[in-house]
A and B are shown apart, each in its own frame.
Chain A
C-alpha cells in the first residue's frame, strides 16, 4: 500500500511539474483538476520505478497563505502526515489531504486497538469561545471523513482548542494559515 502510494505520488509530481512548465502562473486548480490526465499520459511515455521513495519537490507551487491548506507539500499520502489545514472561515477537508486521511483510515481499520484524537484549531481572529466552536467543526469534518472510510467511531475522539494553542506565532496571514488546522494525535496504536 505504502509503496504504491509513493509511486502514484511520484508520478503525479512529474505530471504537475510538466504542467507547471506549460503554465506561467500555476494555481491550485491546475494541479488538482488535471492531474489524472497528466499522470496517465506521462505513465505511458516514461514508466517510473523509484528504488527509494523520495520526498517530492513541490517548490514550483507557490506556498501562499491563501492556498496553504491545499498545498501538496503538507500531505505525503501516508500516516506520517498528521496535520490537515483549512481555508479561512472554512471547515471542509481540502482535496490535497484526501490520500493522507485515507492512509490514516486504513491504519485505523487495520489496527482495531489504534485510537486517534482529532484536535481542532483556529487562527486568533474572532472571539475565543466562538473559535472553539469553529474549530470543533473542523475536527468533526475530519472525523466524518474517517468514518465514511469505514473507521469505527470508538477509535476517534475529537477535541477543540479554538485559538488557544497556535502552531505559529505572529499576526500575519501565513501564521494564521498554519494555525487553522486539525492535528491527528494517536493515543494508542501509533503508526
Chain B
C-alpha cells in the first residue's frame, strides 16, 4: 500500500488533466499466453473504474498475454470456489483472474483478487487492497504487476509512469512536461512553457525529475523538480549548452553536457555540494550521457571519430572506449537495468531507427522500421523500450520489446508527444 499513498501524493501536486494517450497494439506475439480476467463483482456500489478491464488491457499491451474477451466467457465467477473449470478449459484459457470490490461506508473500496491455474484447478496467488476511488487504477495496475510476475517471472511495469514533452503551437504555452501512467492514462502537467523543454530524466527513486528548460531568458538551464512538492531549483546555468541531464543510480549526481569551456563536454555534478567535474576533453561533440547500473561508468555520444558513435567511460580513471561500429550514426544511448543491452538511435539509409546491441555477445539488431525514431528509454524491468517517432507528421510515442517481437503505439489526440522517459519502479 505504500505505493498507493506515494502515488496519491504525486497526483495532488498538479490539477490540469490532459487528453490521455490511447494504447494500440501494432504487433503481438504468436505465443502469447491465453488468460481470462473475469469482470469483478461489486457490492455496496459500482466502482468508478472497470478493474478487470484495466488488468486485461495491461496484460494485452505487454504482448505476452492474450486475454479472453469478456463476452466470450461462459461463466463469470468472482471467487475461486465458484469457478467452473470446464468453462475456461473449453475456451483454452490457461489462467483465470477473478475478483470483487466492496464499497465501504467511508466511500473507500476494498478490492480482492485471485489468480488460478486452469490446468491444475489451483490458486496461485491472492491479495486484497483498500483505497479511495482515485486509487482504483493503482490497484488494477498492482494486480496486473503481480499476475505478470507470477506467470513470467519478471516484475511488471504497469504501476510505473512515463514522463514526456508535448508541443502544441495552438496553446499559449506550447511546451509542456507531462507524466502519465505507463498505459497513458491520468496524464498530468508538471511544467508549461513558451520556450522548449528537453531531456527529462527521473531520479532513481522516482520522486524527482531533471530536465532542460529554456524558459524566461530563452537560454538553457537544467532544473531539478520535486514531483510531490512541485519545488524546483536550477542546478546548471553556465554559458553555452546546459543539456542532457542523467541521474546517477545512487541519486547523488547528475551527468550532463556543458559547453562553457568551448566544445560540448560531459560533466558530473554532485547535487549536494554543487561540485562539477569535467569528464571528457575533446574538440569533438560529447553529449547524451547515461549511467551504467554500476554507477561507475557512463555511456555517451561522441563525434570524436568523425560521425556520432557511442562510447563508454570508466569514471574511476576517465578512460574511454568505443562501443558502436555499425553504420555512420549511432547516438542517444540508454542501457537496460542489468547493464547488458545498449539501446540507441541508429541511422540506416537515411532512416533513424532504434538499435539494440548485446554488450555481452556483441550482437546488434534494429528493432523498429520507421524513419524518425528517437529518444529510446528502457522500462525498469528491461523488457520494453519506449521511444518517440512520427505518425502523419506529428510526434507520437511507441514501445517495442527488447527482442523486437511486440510493438505498441500510444497515439496522442493533440499536438506532438516526444522524449519519453520511463520511470523506475515506484
Contacts and interface: CB of A to CB of B under 8 A. Distances in A.
Nearest to B288: A129
Given A133-B259, A161-B196, A171-B393, A126 B329 contact: yes
A164 interface: yes
A179 interface: no
Given A161-B196, A171-B372, A171-B393, A133 B331 contact: no
Nearest to A165: B196
Contact of B331 (A127, A160, A164, A171): A127
Given A125-B352, A130-B288, A136 B331 contact: no
A127 B374 contact: yes
A129 B372 contact: no
Given A126-B352, A133-B264, A159-B218, A171 B308 contact: no
A83 to B, nearest CB: 17
A12 B28 CA distance: 63
Contacts of B244: 129
A114 interface: no
A146 interface: no
B199 A136 contact: no
Dominant SS among interface residues on chain B:
strand
A95 B219 CA distance: 29
A164 B167 CA distance: 10
A158 interface: yes
Contacts of A159: 214, 218-220
Interface in A143-191: 157-162, 164-165, 169-171
Range of interface residues on chain A?
Answer: 20 to 34
A130 B196 contact: no
A43 B243 CA distance: 53
A128 B374 contact: yes
B390 A130 contact: no
Contacts of B166: none
A132 B332 contact: no
Contacts of B188: none
Nearest to B239: A157
B241 A160 contact: yes
Contact of B372 (A124, A134, A136): A124
Nearest to B344: A127
Contacts of B393: 169-171
Contacts of A162: 198
Nearest to B286: A133
Interface string B330-348: 0110000000000001010
B58 interface: no
B415 interface: no
A164 B241 contact: no
A129 B329 contact: no
B287 A132 contact: yes
A144 B285 CA distance: 18
Contact of B196 (A133, A164, A169): A164
A169 B168 CA distance: 13
Interface in B245-293: 257, 259, 264, 285, 287-288
Contacts of B196: 161, 164-165
Interface string A39-72: 0000000000000000000000000000000000
Nearest to A134: B285
Interface string B309-335: 000000000000000000001011000
A160 B240 CA distance: 8
Contacts of A157: 239
A127 B301 contact: yes
Interface in B368-412: 372, 374-375, 390, 393
Nearest first, the 9 closest Cβ-Cβ pairs linking A and B are A164-B196, A127-B332, A133-B285, A129-B244, A127-B331, A133-B264, A129-B287, A129-B288, A129-B243
10 contacts: A126-B347, A127-B331, A128-B375, A132-B287, A133-B241, A133-B285, A164-B196, A164-B214, A165-B196, A171-B372
Interface of A: 117, 119, 124-130, 132-134, 136, 157-162, 164-165, 169-171
Given A117-B218, A125-B372, A160-B220, 7 more contacts: A126-B329, A126-B331, A132-B264, A133-B285, A136-B264, A159-B220, A169-B393
Interface of B: 196, 198-199, 214, 218-220, 239-241, 243-244, 257, 259, 264, 285, 287-288, 301, 308, 329, 331-332, 345, 347, 352, 372, 374-375, 390, 393, 419
